[in-house]
């Protein structure tokens, strides 16, 4: 299949980018042109695979692993774009393996999800905003975990090879809250389009997603208010971030994982 061949190209390009960044760490002479060339090939091929396996003759295939692959692609692209202005290249050491896993799973693991057709433009916008919001907030949660780990190592005066080459803490914290603001804006769009375009958004069928997404929005709003008004950072901010992320992941993937992966139902 065409999608399988392109998937292999994407995996090889991601792996090459990972190896190039590891080489950059060891040599101290970064070759960013090669790294970005490999990364661009990888994300382009990854996007092609997503389009091929998602756009089916019967409609959109938004199965668990398909959505996970799309989210991993958005995360890599967001960090790739941010790395032009911030020293974030070393994050690829963590993100490229994640993208490879999601890509392989979406390509080779069968799904019981039945493709859906007939989405109105409003519903399609709602789905797109949902995927983007989860992607961006996932980056923020990942940043929060790394910052917690790094702060713990600093207090204990310990270090590890890969960790020591991560971007400066100040840079990571700036990126963290930039992503949170953007993620909250997208999540607001998700809730607004859900109310406007989804039938019975807070009804029985979608109630758990709507309620958990709303709780997540409230958590992130309180956090950003606390950051602006009270200067929250460190452990306090990280706990709020991870709490909001947990509610959002449960909203989007909780029932989908149980139905598709555990119960093998749609």
pLDDT, residue 258, reads: 57
Determine the Cα–Cα distance for residues 221 and 225; give it in Å rounded to an integer: 6
Measuring CA to CA, how many Å separate 123 from each of 54, 118, 191? 16, 10, 12
The pLDDT value given to residue 144: 87
Q: Where are the chain's structural domains?
A: 1-110, 118-266
Note down pLDDT in tens along the chain; length 266 residues. Answer: 788 999 999 999 999 999 998 887 766 555 788 899 999 999 999 999 999 998 888 878 888 888 889 989 998 998 898 888 777 787 888 899 999 999 999 998 887 777 777 778 888 888 889 888 988 898 888 888 888 877 777 676 665 555 556 667 777 788 888 889 999 999 999 999 988 887 766 654 567 788 889 999 999 999 999 988 888 887 888 889 999 999 998 887 765 665 555 555 55
- Closest to 10 (Cα-Cα) out of 69, 81, 93, 67: 69
In this structure, what token pair is assigned to residue 20?
């190039």
pLDDT at 27: 65
Q: What is the 3-state secondary structure (H, E, C) of the chain?
A: CHHHHHHHHHHHHHHHHHHHHHHHHHHCCCCHHHHHHHHHHHHHHHHHHHHHHHEECCEECCCHHHHHHHHHHHHHHHHHHHCCCCCCHHHHHHHHHHHHHHHHHHHHCCCCCCCECCCCHHHHHHHHHHHHHHHHHHHHHHHHHHHHHHHHHHHHCCCCHHHHCCCCHHHHHHHHHHHHHHHHHHHHHHHHHHHHHCCCCCCCCCHHHHHHHHHHHHHHHHHHHHHHHHCCCHHHHHHHHHHHHHHHHHHHHHHHHHHHHHCCCC
- What is the structure's pLDDT at 206? 61
Task: Name 34's bridge partners.
Answer: none
């Amino acid at each position: 299949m065409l999608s399988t061949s392109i998937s292999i190209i994407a995996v090889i390009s991601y792996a090459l980018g990972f190896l190039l960044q590891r080489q950059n760490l060891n040599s101290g002479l970064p070759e960013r042109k090669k790294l970005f060339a490999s990364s661009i090939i990888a994300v382009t091929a990854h996007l092609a695979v997503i389009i091929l396996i998602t756009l089916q003759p019967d409609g959109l295939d938004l199965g668990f692993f398909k959505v996970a692959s799309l989210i991993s692609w958005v995360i890599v692209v967001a960090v790739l774009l941010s790395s032009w202005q911030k020293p974030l290249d070393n994050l690829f050491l963590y993100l490229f393996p994640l993208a490879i896993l999601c890509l392989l799973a979406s390509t080779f693991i069968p799904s019981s999800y039945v493709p859906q057709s007939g989405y109105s433009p409003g519903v399609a916008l709602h789905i797109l905003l949902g995927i983007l919001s989860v992607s961006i907030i996932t980056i923020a949660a990942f940043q929060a975990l790394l910052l917690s780990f790094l702060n713990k190592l600093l207090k204990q005066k310990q270090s590890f090879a890969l960790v020591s080459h991560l971007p400066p803490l100040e840079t990571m914290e700036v990126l963290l809250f930039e992503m949170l603001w953007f993620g909250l804006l997208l999540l607001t769009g998700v809730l607004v389009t859900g109310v406007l375009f989804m039938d019975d958004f807070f009804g029985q069928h979608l109630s758990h997603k709507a309620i958990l997404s709303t709780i997540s929005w409230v958590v992130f709003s309180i956090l950003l208010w606390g950051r602006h008004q009270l200067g929250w950072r460190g452990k306090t901010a990280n706990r709020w971030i991870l709490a909001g992320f947990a509610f959002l992941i449960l909203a989007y993937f909780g029932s989908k994982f149980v139905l598709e992966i555990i119960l093998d139902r749609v």
